[in-house]
Structure 1
Amino acid sequence: VVLGLFSIFCSFSRKSHYASWMILVSFLLDTAIRAMTGHVSMCSKSGAELNDFAVFTTFGLASALLLGVNRLLNGFLAIIYVSATSFRLCFYSTGVPFAYKGLPCPYASCVLASTSLLTRGNPFILCCMASLMILFMMDQSYYPHDAVLESENWKKGVYMGGVTMLFFSPLSLTAFYCLMWSLSYIFFPDALWGKTACLRRHR
């Protein structure tokens, strides 16, 4: 939540570079926090509601503001992006164990933030990418639970690679790494990140 609010502040201050980095750091923290709460079995109704608020703030509103609101088209698309995030959080539930319905919001935000950093906030490319992410979030396809820190060692390595690069590598390379990570989850969820083919049999 705090990083999301800082990202919103940076966007309004026209410092999209810092706003994007806040979202990427949030993406990495989100993975770690979910692993930690799952490991110690911390679960409550208020915690779930707070988590949804954090997702909406950081991966909904803050991410949408990366598109900018100084142009009519960008502002309209930002509203649609926020609406898609809200709709997915409120109405997309799945009866299939260990699966999400529709693309999880953190991955869509990671794609937007990485694209913003790599293209220096190019409005046309960002609008195209945001439109694509909206379609993926509203899609009815199933995506595997991304329990990166509780699964195979290579997945843990992917996460640790992102954290290491954040501190020790050029920022543009880190953004490219996170972009490839997210795109691999979006386009190859079954082959790389889970076994959705097996999950479909439970529908």
Structure 2
Amino acid sequence: MNQDAYGHVARIGKAIGNGNRLELLELMAQAEQSVDDMARVSRMGVTTVSSHLQVLKNAGLVRTRRDGVRIYYRLAGPEVAGLFVSMKDVAARFLPAPFAADSSTEAGSSRDVVPLIHTIDEARDAFMLDVRRAHEYLAGHYPGAVSIPLDELASRMDEVPRDRRVIVYCRGGFCLLARDAARLMRDKGIDAWAMDEGVLEWRAGGSVELTATA
């Protein structure tokens, strides 16, 4: 057997075999990200993020771009997002407890009260709302989706229609921004639903052709 080949592939598994690194991959699936930006969003220390990124870079999973003194990181390709999604799907099937609809969450949490849209076909003719950060939206979003970052939603609620179903999406299946946004809108009487997938899955599978805004 070709042990070198097995070992080479195993480097990939080792690199992504860490929850914090998976979170960073999800962030980079949205747009290029700096170390400082990823540290702020993930609430990890800058040194910790840098260390995780080095592991991912050494495994060939991320690329970098320097702009002055700042370095930006991005996924090496859509296949990296696909690898994450495949792992997530396998985990959901064979380790289902954390993924189940009735998994333990605090009573009244967004997971408990927000109806979910499971496929993009269910979102046809709806008002699509992107609640990620603005620069993530600009890097690529569902065609025709409107951008209202979650932290601006309460003050911009009048921009959301009340005579159409509203479908909210965010970074991916593990991201709770869409659920939190849908819950906030439903409390205001808006027919809001959350996608249980997002940009990570769309980049991986090509099921949605994302639109970048210049």
What TM-score results when the alignment is normalised by the length of structure 1?
Answer: 0.30
Greater share of residues in helix: 1
Normalising by structure 2, what TM-score? 0.29
Compare the two structures and name the one with the higher strand fraction. 2
Higher relative contact order (CA 8 A, sep 6+): 1
